A and B are shown apart, each in its own frame.
Chain A
Amino acid sequence: MPRLPHKFGPYGGQFVPETLMPALDELEAAYVTARQDPAFESELAALWRDFVGRPTPLTHARRLTAQLGGAQIYLKREDLAHTGAHKINNALGQALLVKRMGKRRVVAETGAGQHGVASATASALLGLDCVVYMGTIDIARQQPNVYRMKLLGAEVRPVESGSKTLKDAINEAIRDWVTNVRDTHYLLGSALGPHPYPTMVRDFQSIIGREARQQILEATGKLPDTLIACVGGGSNAIGLFHPFLGDEHVEMIGVEAGGSGVASGKHAARFGDPEKGRLGVIHGTRTFVLQDADGQIADTHSISAGLDYAAIGPEHAWLRETERAYYTSATDEEALAALQTLCHTEGIIPALESSHALAEVIKRAPTMRPDQVIVVNLSGRGDKDLGTIMESL
């Protein structure tokens, strides 16, 4: 069987207990076989079209463009995908693979709850048992999504260990997987973790960039100048970026969570904080990780649960090293301001995660010419964040 590359330059790999190595081999084999099978491709394409509502629109944000007075701004509307975020693209792809592997149970982690909802939705649709691990801090700040998961038939298991956020939910999901590996698939939600997850999740999310590329060509007759996306683990960003990697003049910008500001120490800017953000290994992958001098994983902070994670997907580390993509950060405050701007100018309530990308648009668009084009990934809608937003404004 042809194998996929395990690494992106020096990043990635499979740093997992031996018990899981055969499961990763099995998953890689199933994935490679499925991608060569036209029946799998057409089944997934049909679900994306008829269930998710793809292609999602590319919206020209005319009032926001006018207000900022620079580049033309286009929004890739993943907020309009069924369940309200891009996470469903990957959840359906993996759930179809689970069926092919003959497994009946999936475990998933979730931070903001969007991947948990997507996993619960895909499991309900395809008849799988679904357990979602979620930190108790995230449960408190994303209540609506907790109820949605339960309503969809998933079991939500609260995680009390460590920092009680996404990182600890991943630990618990891996512990469950290692225990039940023979009949359980780990439905990992971002372009993270051990190979083949970063490659497989990227491939499933690349539908975002493939659609956006075609749509912007139709709308403007040319490729965009700049792509902007928020980066937690980095699946929405890699999904937008990847189909444009060969277009050398298209600039790509990933936006990390700056929290209370990088200088405050309360953030999730893996690239933005060179002191704490160093090469390391967490959750099966070698990448940039926020850690202390002793190699203990640092606690992170972001107003958006989906970006509140200590490591970044390994392919982003490689894109940064090769200077194919650039990374910056936006603070909680900047994200909240950007969220309100989009509400007022375009009638769209974006997720707090996506609002980090919009904050960079607001900084960058005025420095560009009106004949230039930015495509920003509006990765999710903000309904889930209303509680947090009302508390913060």
Chain B
Amino acid sequence: MSRINNAFQGRPAFMPYYPLGFPTLPDSIDVIEALARNGADLIEVGLSFSDPLADGPVIQQATQTALQQGITVAKSLTAVRALRARGVTTPFVLMGYINPLLAYGLERLKRDVIDAGADGFIVPDLPPEEGAEFEAAVAPLPQIRMLAPTTPNERLGRVLTGAQGFVYLVSVTGVTGARTEIPDGLADFVTRVRAHTSLPLCVGFGIGTPEQAHAVSRMADGVIVGSATVRAIAASTTPAQTAADFARAYRAGLDRA
């Protein structure tokens, strides 16, 4: 049914996050296209928010830059449409905080997101307890459920009830941002969640090298890389080329035997 399923085709899924509007809107469209054409299986397309309380400094600064240059939800959806017009068929999941989505209007959001060609949402400040209204309004677009290392077993089942697409495992207690090591206990965390769902499990927060991505892919079905992607582009004068190289390096890391 959903394009999201195409991301999980027998190889570890490489799932970069990238915010629209950074360093400029045209650059970000080129970056996402380059990621898609060089090995990304799904892209988390970032929608910027003034108060990104789950994000570390790298994504904070990138999304602030995007906002200063005038990015909006409407412009972001226009960019998604442009990517589809370029023939990019990679699944897109929109990642953003709830307030701009509410401000856009949920009925209009559903219509315009489907029309633009995005495939679902990740909303880090919308736990399932608060998400029923949003999910009903945007169905059939899925809202990807998130789990954290602090989520107790008795809560896992509740969070996973009605989950679709894949499950986002936050690897560490903390905000987004690359770490130097794979956290202890990640394997146990993944095993704990496996017992509750047959959906693909994707790990994000803290993964910053192809080697780490490879190590995580031995436990999980997909690897989400956010701050490292943004940092690579921020340091580049040729964003699209850097994005292509970046994606190929992670693809090679993940496909290593």
Contact = CB atoms under 8 A, between A and B. Distances in A.
Interface residues of A, number: 38
A296 interface: yes
A126 to B, nearest CB: 25
Interface stretch (A9-17, A337-345, A365-373, A382-390): A9-17
Interface string A150-194: 000000000001100001100100110011111000000000000
A18 B159 contact: yes
A280 interface: yes
Contacts of A283: 51, 53
A196 B114 CA distance: 36
Interface stretch (A19-27, A32-40, A199-207): A19-27
B173 A179 contact: yes
Interface in B82-138: 97-104, 124-127, 129-130
A71 B54 CA distance: 49
Given A181-B173, A295-B73, A296-B49, A21 B127 contact: yes
Residue of A16, A167, A289 contacting most chain B CB atoms (<10 Å):
A16
Interface stretch (B6-14, B150-158, B208-216, B245-253): B150-158
B151 A22 contact: yes
Interface in A275-304: 278-284, 289, 291, 293-297
A295 B104 contact: yes
B51 A282 contact: yes
Contacts of A289: 99
Contacts of A280: 99, 102-103
Contact of B130 (A14, A174, A282): A14
Contacts of B28: none
Interface in B162-185: 170, 173-175
Contacts, number: 118
Nearest to B61: A161
A217 to B, nearest CB: 41
Interface in A305-358: none
A289 B99 CA distance: 10
Given A14-B127, A179-B173, A295 B100 contact: yes
Contact of B146 (A18, A22, A175, A179): A18
Interface string A84-117: 0000000000000000000000000000000000
B53 A297 contact: no
Contacts of A179: 173-175
B145 to A, nearest CB: 8
Nearest to B96: A295
Contacts of B67: 296
A169 to B, nearest CB: 11
A295 B127 contact: no
Given A15-B125, A21-B151, A280-B103, A296 B50 contact: yes
A279 B106 CA distance: 14
A294 B51 contact: no
Given A17-B148, A19-B170, A295 B99 contact: yes
Nearest to B70: A294
Nearest to B73: A294
A291 B150 contact: no
A180 B103 CA distance: 32
Interface string B25-53: 00000000000000000000000011111
B249 to A, nearest CB: 28
B147 interface: yes
Contacts of A167: 51
Contacts of A181: 150, 173
A20 B50 CA distance: 20
A14 B129 contact: yes
30 contacts: A13-B129, A15-B125, A16-B125, A16-B127, A17-B125, A17-B170, A18-B151, A20-B150, A21-B127, A21-B129, A21-B151, A21-B155, A171-B52, A175-B54, A175-B56, A175-B175, A178-B174, A179-B173, A179-B174, A280-B102, A280-B103, A281-B98, A281-B102, A282-B51, A282-B99, A284-B125, A294-B100, A294-B104, A295-B102, A297-B99
Given A18-B170, A284-B125, 13 more contacts: A13-B130, A15-B125, A16-B125, A21-B127, A22-B152, A162-B50, A168-B51, A178-B173, A179-B175, A278-B103, A291-B103, A295-B101, A295-B102
Interface of A: 6, 13-23, 161-162, 167-168, 171, 174-175, 178-182, 278-284, 289, 291, 293-297
Interface of B: 49-54, 56, 60, 64, 67, 72-74, 97-104, 124-127, 129-130, 146-152, 155, 159, 170, 173-175
